[in-house]
Amino acid sequence: MIKIIVLLFSSLSFSLPVLDASAASNTMLTIYPDHKDLDLFYAVPKSLEIAIDENTKKPLFSYHESKDHCRWIHPRCKPKATIRVLLRPKYDKLMLEHIRPSLLKLSQNPLIVGAPYSFSYLKLENSFDEIDKEKSFCEHKAGQAGTFQACVIHLTEKGVELHRRSLMDAMSLVVHLEYKIKGVVQNIELGYENFEIDTGVSGTIGSSILKYHPDLFLDHKGRVIEEI
């Protein structure tokens, strides 16, 4: 089973990916070789997904409705909601296992690490009018490849109507992780020169895994929402 390890830093004196080369025979998967270490390879994430607590095995997600904006609580008062979630980069581990024979032709002990970012930024899809953007916190520097990304979203009354159910169907709010990878490219003298690429991945706040955790959805009184 291939594991993804995160490199927290790199420089030419240590390790850098060769950004104009690929160690994977599969064109749908990008695996960069290292410029020095023949056993070291770099993978890039496929998408973003909701992080899972290693102890409880529950998604690091919460949905809590509120009627604090109402002058008084009555049936006609529609709730707003706050979503809190931790996201993480998702790597295509099945595909990585599939290309392992190709890597074994290049190295007896291949080690795959997450390509380190020289810069990264998390952005919420800005086309959603049903989000209170002033209160939401989902746009910030994102740290390194293995860093969980915190996202807090405040839904308006309309947002609750549109997204409460879709959060369980993985067809909901879209988040983008934009990042840069600093590495090297080969020059005409068969040496290396510094190079940097801009790329990114996307993911949704919703996930089908949430349907198995209805206790993460609470109404304005802190009760589990029975019918979503």
- Report the pLDDT averaged over residues 136-144: 80
Q: Is the pLDDT of residue 145 over 90?
A: no
**Model confidence pLDDT, tens digit, residues 34-63:** 998 888 999 888 888 999 998 999 999 999
Cα(180)–Cα(123) distance, rounded to whole angstroms? 14
Cα(101)–Cα(135) distance, rounded to whole angstroms? 49
64: CB partners within 8 A, 6+ apart: 81, 82, 84, 218, 222
Say if CB 173 and CB 205 are below 8 A apart.
yes
Mean pLDDT check: name the lowest of 79-88, 94-103, 211-220. Answer: 94-103
pLDDT of residue 224: 92
| Helix, strand, coil shares, percent, the chain, to 5 | 15, 35, 50
Question: In 10 A of CB 191, how many CB atoms?
Answer: 9
CA dihedral 65→67→68→73, nearest 10 degrees, is: -150
Q: How confident is the model at residue 218 (pLDDT cuts 50, 70, 90)?
A: very high
Domain boundaries, the chain: 5-218
pLDDT of residue 27: 60
Cα(152)–Cα(6) distance, rounded to whole angstroms? 25
What are 220's two structure tokens? 């304005």
Cα(90)–Cα(103) distance, rounded to whole angstroms? 21
Q: How confident is the model at residue 128 (pLDDT cuts 50, 70, 90)?
A: low
Identity of the amino acid at 159: G
Strand bridging mode 31-33 / 40-43: antiparallel
Q: How confident is the model at residue 228 (pLDDT cuts 50, 70, 90)?
A: low
What are 200's two structure tokens? 């990114």
- Report the pLDDT averaged over residues 136-151: 81
Cα(53)–Cα(68) distance, rounded to whole angstroms? 30
H or E element in which residue 202 lies: strand 192-204
Q: Is the pLDDT of residue 176 over 70?
A: yes
Q: How confident is the model at residue 7 (pLDDT cuts 50, 70, 90)?
A: very low
Cα(137)–Cα(106) distance, rounded to whole angstroms? 44
Q: Is the pLDDT of residue 153 over 80?
A: yes
pTM of the complete model: 0.81
111: CB partners within 8 A, 6+ apart: 5, 39, 40, 41
Could you give the percent of the chain with pLDDT greater than 70?
Answer: 87
pLDDT of residue 118: 87
Kindly report the average pLDDT of the chain as a whole number. Answer: 83
Q: How confident is the model at residue 189 (pLDDT cuts 50, 70, 90)?
A: confident
Q: Which residue has the tokens 């510094």?
A: 194
